[in-house]
Amino acid sequence: MNTQVVFAVLIVFGIGCLIGIIPIIQNFPFPVGYDSINYYLPALYDLNHNPVIGGTLFPVYIFLVYIFYLISFSDLYLAFNVVNIFLYGSLSVTTFLLIKTVLRQSVDKSILFTIFVIFQLSTLRMAWDLHRDILALIFLNLCLVTINHLKSLDNNKSVLLQYGTVSVLYVAAIFSDRMIGILLIISSISFSIIYKLKLLGAINLLLLILFLTYFFLLDDITFVSIGSNPVDTLVNPAFNKNSLSPYDLVVLYLSLNGILIPFFILGFLKKSDSLTLKIPTLVTIILSFSWLVIPNYNYLVPERWIILSGFFISIFGLYGFFFIVDRFINSKFKKLVSVLFISSFVTYGILFIVLPYGIVFTIPSIFQNQTGFTIPLSMSFNSLEIPKNQDLVKSIDWINTNTKNNSEIIGTLHWRGWFHLFLEKPRQYIFSETISFPNDYSTIEKNVTALPNLLKSKIEFQCTNEVGPYTNSSSAFGNERNIYLIDLKSGYYGIHYYYPIVYDSEYFSIYEITDSICG
């Protein structure tokens, strides 16, 4: 690796780390990203509290953060943020290597490609909270670079070294994230067939068996774990859980990638010697449109494939743009046109990083009714607007101080991570995605039973008159039910008469609803 390449690697790594650090500093001490607060941080603190649990399914990212925490003697939350910063810098480096090796671009052009890609909205969306995907994508990029070298190797020692490298990266990728693991398996099988790489085919077979065994034995969150026939789950209307409509998915796809699609098509067709990159690109696009043939497509997370496809589309999209510029733009204006094109996307990405939440400026944000939580308005968000985070923590602290140990707190699914981290046991947080007060309080009397009925339909309450661990008998001191509901502050103050507020803050209200549920 010559000096120019080393210098280029340092440049793109620094830019990637800078992108990663800005939203963290801007919103500190609160986490950035929905999955950060609802998945990664709870999993990390659970692992720290009880290392025997072994993390989660596809645990490479969790273990990476935890190992860094142990060797750095730092705070676990600080370790989490530092690792995420370095991961985005590393993604920038592997993207640079991928473009230079597979697309065979010059060092200078590879830097431009990398900057363009890492400022894309789809890539920044992954950096927002899909940290496991970022790690797996790093391994995928390195695997593609290594496989690209396999086509031209003749030296037996070099071949064995490269296959050993591929195997290690392969294992790391498939145990980092199931989605990118599937992408790598499909792509690598295709490579082994097209390039007639028998040893790669054998590696594919072994790792496919390993992946499927691990996945089917331990999976507890995908459609495979439901207990019915997986094919039936995907086609039977009884299992339909589609949260995004086909129209929503089309809007999401076009709002993320629409501007680049013409350039992508041209670049994809004109770059004939880049099959190593074309195959994963095609796989992500095909799976982005799984909703066309699979009735219960929600289980295949097409919205996640749409986001991932944007990474590859942006690479070929910029290649298509340069193809047009090189052939049709006067040489005097080539640099100016290229700078304006790339800088417009970079500015777009910077605004997504730094602007406070609530400002509608990105194309997906214009269609928020369709894109929802899939694409946040900006990176300054987790499961709440950042200014509301401290108030929620204070509300949980009030619960810890002013409620009995056996209290049950009911709230939305989106706050489960906060309560997992801050609610003192043995208090329980019971959540449902649809829990909230009814919207229409024009006639309070008509709605007085709406909340209890809603809660009982979503959550199984075992209220009995027997003295025991779950009883509504006031004579059983210490064993009676103590049920509260936390909700965003309601503008319908007449409801307080029926559901008394026991705590009221700037953004949240806590209601005592034991009598309504078990009275």
Q: Name the nearest CA neighbour of 132 among 187, 73, 65.
A: 65
Is residue 410 within 8 Å of 435, Cβ to Cβ? yes
The reply to whether 441 falls in a domain is: yes
The reply to whether 481 falls in a domain is: yes
The reply to whether 277 falls in a domain is: no
Domain count, the chain: 1
Q: Name the nearest CA neighbour of 35 among 413, 424, 508.
A: 413
* Angle, vertex CA 20, rays to CA 26 and CA 41, nearest 5: 80
CB proximity list for 390: less than 8 A, separation 6 or greater:
30
Please give the Cα distance from 52 to 344 (Å, whole number): 49
Residue 210 CB neighbours (<10 A): 14
What is the H or E stretch that residue 359 is in? none
The reply to whether 134 falls in a domain is: no
Is residue 92 within 8 Å of 13, Cβ to Cβ? yes
Strand-by-strand arrangement of the 408-412 sheet: 428-432, 408-412, 483-488, 508-512, 501-504
The reply to whether 390 falls in a domain is: yes
What pLDDT is attached to residue 91?
98
Helices 131-150 and 302-328, packing angle to 10 deg:
50
The reply to whether 202 falls in a domain is: no
Phi, psi (rounded to 5 degrees) for 428: -120, 145
Burial (CB count within 10 angstroms: exposed 0-12, middle 13-18, buried 19+), residue 313 = buried
Phi-psi region of 55 (alpha: psi -120 to 50; beta: other; left: phi over 0): left
The reply to whether 483 falls in a domain is: yes
107: which 2 tokens? 């060092």
Q: Name the nearest CA neighbour of 326 among 9, 105, 119, 107.
A: 105
What pLDDT is attached to residue 9?
96
Please give the Cα distance from 362 to 255 (Å, whole number): 9
β-bridge partners, 431 = 411
The reply to whether 455 falls in a domain is: yes
490: which 2 tokens? 């309601």
Q: Name the nearest CA neighbour of 401 among 305, 502, 500.
A: 502
Please give the Cα distance from 338 to 333 (Å, whole number): 8
Per-residue pLDDT of the chain (519 residues; tens, 9 = 90+): 689 999 999 999 999 999 999 999 999 999 999 999 999 999 999 988 887 655 566 688 999 999 999 998 789 999 999 999 999 999 999 999 999 999 999 999 999 999 999 999 999 999 999 999 999 999 999 999 999 888 766 566 677 888 888 899 999 998 898 899 999 999 999 999 998 888 888 988 998 888 888 777 765 555 455 556 667 677 766 666 777 889 999 999 999 999 999 999 999 999 888 899 999 999 999 999 999 988 888 888 999 999 999 999 999 999 999 999 988 777 778 888 899 999 999 999 999 999 998 888 899 999 988 887 799 999 999 999 999 999 999 999 999 999 999 899 988 889 999 999 999 989 999 886 555 444 443 333 333 344 555 555 555 555 544 433 333 333 333 457 788 988 888 644 445 546 788 999 999 989 888 877 766
What pLDDT is attached to residue 161?
84
Is residue 249 within 8 Å of 291, Cβ to Cβ? yes
For the chain, the residue count is: 519
Phi, psi (rounded to 5 degrees) for 26: -60, -35
The domain in which residue 505 lies consists of 386-518
Is residue 184 within 8 Å of 147, Cβ to Cβ? no
463: which 2 tokens? 């209220």
Phi-psi region of 372 (alpha: psi -120 to 50; beta: other; left: phi over 0): left
What pLDDT is attached to residue 459?
58
